[in-house]
Amino acid sequence: MRNNRNNHALAASAFLAPSMVGFLLIAAIPFALSFAISFTSWSGIKGLNLFSPAFWQENFIGFENYAKILKSKEFWVSLLHVGQYMVLYIPLMLISSLGIAVLLNKPRKGSAFYRLLFYIPVLTSWVAGAIIWKWVLDPQYGILNDILARVGIHGPAWLQDPKWAMFGIVLASVWKDMGFYGLIFLGGLKNINPIYYEAAHLDGAGRFQSFLKITLPMLTPMVFFVLIISLINSFMLFPQVMIMTNAGPAGATQVIVERIYKYGFSYYKMGYASALSWLLFLIVFLFTYLQQRLQKKWVNYDA
C-alpha cells in the first residue's frame, strides 16, 4: 500500500513539475525578489546581486521607501482615484452584466450569436479597445457626444476634463468587462430550478417580486465572486489609464499601478516602486479578507 502511494506521488510530481518550475520562475522568485528590493534604493539600471554584501552596503535603506510613500500626498491621491473608479465602475458593471445575463437567459432565436457579440470586447486587447474609446469620447468627433447632441445635450470633453476623465475610463472598462461577468451570471441563472418560479407564480408573485426573492438570492455566490474579481481589477487599473489619458488631465486619473510603472521604468526608482507594489498587495489582501468574512451575512449557498 505504501509503495503504491509513493508511486502515485512520484507520478503526480512528474506531471506537476513543469507547472511548479513555471510558477517558481514567473511568480514566486520575482515575488520574493521584489520584497527584498523594496528595502533598497536600487535604481533598476545597475546590476542586481542580492547575495553580494557590497550591494546591500550601497543600497539598503530599511523602511525608508515605505515611510516616504505613506507620508506622500501622491499615494493617498492615487488611492482616492482608485476609490472613485470603484464607486462608479462596480455598480455600473454589476447592473449591466446582470441585465445582459437576464436578457440572454430568455430562449430566443440567435441567442448564441448575441452571447458571442457581448463577449467580443472581452477578447479585444486593451490597446485596441482604448483607441476605440478615445475616438468614441472625442469631444468634437466622437460618436457619444454626437448622440448626445441629437437629443439636445452638450457633451463634455470627456478625457480632457478632470471632472469627466475617470468616468470615461469607467465607461470603457464596463464595456470591456460586462460580457465576461454577464456569462458568469448567465451560468448562475441557468442553474436556478424553474420550480421556484412556478411556485412563486402560483402564489401570485410578479416578475419583479420573483427577481428580488428568488433570482437575486440564488445569484449571491456569483455576485460575491464578481465583486472579488472586480475589486482586484479595480486596484490593478492600468492599461486603459495609460492609453486613454496617461494619468491626466492634471493627474485626475493617476492611480497606484500607473505610479508603480512610472517610478520603476520612467524614474528608475525600482526600490520605491517595489515598496509601492507591496503596499498595494497589502491593501488588496485586506479588502479581499474583509469580503471573505462578510460573505457569511449575505451569500446564499443553499441553492
Q: Could you report how far apart the first and last alpha carbons of the chain are, in Å?
A: 40
DSSP state of 108: -
Q: Which three cell numbers stand for residue 2?
A: 505504501
Length, in residues, of the chain: 303
Distance CA 10, CA 3 (A): 10
- So where are the chain's domains? 2-59, 66-297
pLDDT score, position 110: 75
pLDDT score, position 112: 80
Average pLDDT of the segment spanning 204-212: 87
**pTM of the model as a whole:** 0.90
pLDDT score, position 274: 96
pLDDT score, position 298: 87
Q: Quick check: 284 and 277 in contact, CB under 8 A?
A: no
Angle at 284 between CA 277 and CA 266, to 5 degrees: 25
pLDDT band with cut points at 50, 70 and 90 for residue 6: low
Distance CA 67, CA 50 (A): 22
Under CATH, which number does the domain 66-297 receive?
1.10.3720.10
pLDDT score, position 246: 94
Distance CA 48, CA 34 (A): 11
pLDDT, tens only, 122-134: 999 999 999 999 9
DSSP per-residue string spanning 9-47: HHHHHHHHHHHHHHHIIIIIHHHHHHHHHTTB---SSS-
pLDDT score, position 26: 80
Q: Is the pLDDT of residue 2 over 80?
A: no
Distance CA 43, CA 31 (A): 18
* Percent of the chain topping pLDDT 70: 97
Average pLDDT of the segment spanning 158-184: 95
Q: Is the pLDDT of residue 255 over 60?
A: yes
pLDDT score, position 127: 92
Distance CA 10, CA 16 (A): 10
Q: Which three cell numbers stand for residue 1?
A: 500500500
pLDDT band with cut points at 50, 70 and 90 for residue 1: low
Higher pLDDT, 110 or 43: 43
Distance CA 145, CA 151 (A): 10
Rounded to the nearest integer, the mean pLDDT of the chain is 90
Average pLDDT of the segment spanning 100-113: 84
